[in-house]
Structure 1
């Protein structure tokens, strides 16, 4: 009788651009404005099982640039990866889905966002490197704080 292989498995199955949009609601007028726009970048990470041992990890970015109260451009992009992950304990699985997988997917997202912005006629926005370990640790701490009951106050 053959023994089941219980060695941990972590493999990239595929990395793909799941969704991207570029909006320029105030073009062409806004293109004539030479003022420096403000740039707001929001990032998110989502992980979901897709089949036994397969997980989709999606890194989402929203880049909103404005001059005064007018939008120059708005980019929303989702870069995803499918990963085979087997024989991991739940704490290891959480770290892999929240740290290792986003670190693999994020460079593709950065490149695609810079490219779509440049193809829209703007200088590329270079998104900074992200410390997914710190982001994951912060999310875990916030979840633990939300789950723990408030300590009882004793008034004497």
Structure 2
């Protein structure tokens, strides 16, 4: 198979995307077992679990390095009386070396691909902490970071629309 070349004979310069996880860490972790402090709920317990996710990213001082923080809040309540059973909160961070991503695509890359890389570790930590806290391990369903990103863009667009005329800003 022959190499592809441009009309002048040079090879096309396709940017190579390179992502490397340099570090990952728990920035903050808390678990509250409300059952242990308040006593077991009366009657049948039917847990209802909600998961809230938020993301934050920032450029670091070193070239091509970014820090991404995934924040998870997992709340379990009793369906019948809405009493809290447990609350787990985890801020999990990663430091990434990212090269070859065009500037206009960096924000979605940071808010989708980086949290996707960290998620299996977050899932294990939440599972372990709920088990260690006296409950069955909670194995969180995968998070659709693309949908989460789109929801945030829609929310920001709505907020900007309500705040008044802002310059036309489009994402490619």
TM-score (norm 1): 0.80
Q: Report the aligned-residue RMSD.
A: 2.3
Q: Aligned pair 1:42/2:52, yes or no? A: yes
Alignment match, 1:79? 92
Q: Aligned pair 1:11/2:20, yes or no? A: yes
Q: Aligned pair 1:139/2:152, yes or no? A: yes
Alignment match, 2:170? none
Q: Aligned pair 1:125/2:142, yes or no? A: no
Residues 79 and 106, structure 1, Cα contact 8 Å, conserved in 2: no
Alignment match, 2:117? 104
The structure where strand makes up a greater share of residues is 1
Q: Provide the rounded CA distance (Å) in 1 between the counterparts of 2:73 and 2:150.
A: 22
> How far apart are residue 129 of structure 1 and its match?
0.9
TM-score (norm 2): 0.73
> How far apart are residue 92 of structure 1 and its match?
1.4
Alignment match, 1:30? 40
Find the residue that maps to 1:27 and give its secondary structure.
helix
Structure having the higher Rg: 2
Residues 26 and 70, structure 1, Cα contact 8 Å, conserved in 2: no
Alignment size in residue pairs:
145
Uncovered stretches (5+) of structure 1, i.e. residues with no partner: 1-5, 151-156
Find the residue that maps to 2:108 and give its secondary structure.
helix
> How far apart are residue 30 of structure 1 and its match?
1.8
Which moves more between the two structures, 22-31 or 93-102? 22-31
> How far apart are residue 32 of structure 1 and its match?
7.7
Uncovered stretches (5+) of structure 2, i.e. residues with no partner: 1-14, 167-172
Q: Provide the rounded CA distance (Å) in 1 between the counterparts of 2:43 and 2:124.
A: 26
Deviations 1:83-126 (A, max 9, x none): 01245322211121011001001111011001000011100112
Q: Provide the rounded CA distance (Å) in 2 between the counterparts of 1:24 and 1:116.
A: 11
Structure 2 CA distance for partners of 1:112 and 1:20, relative to 1, 3 Å: same
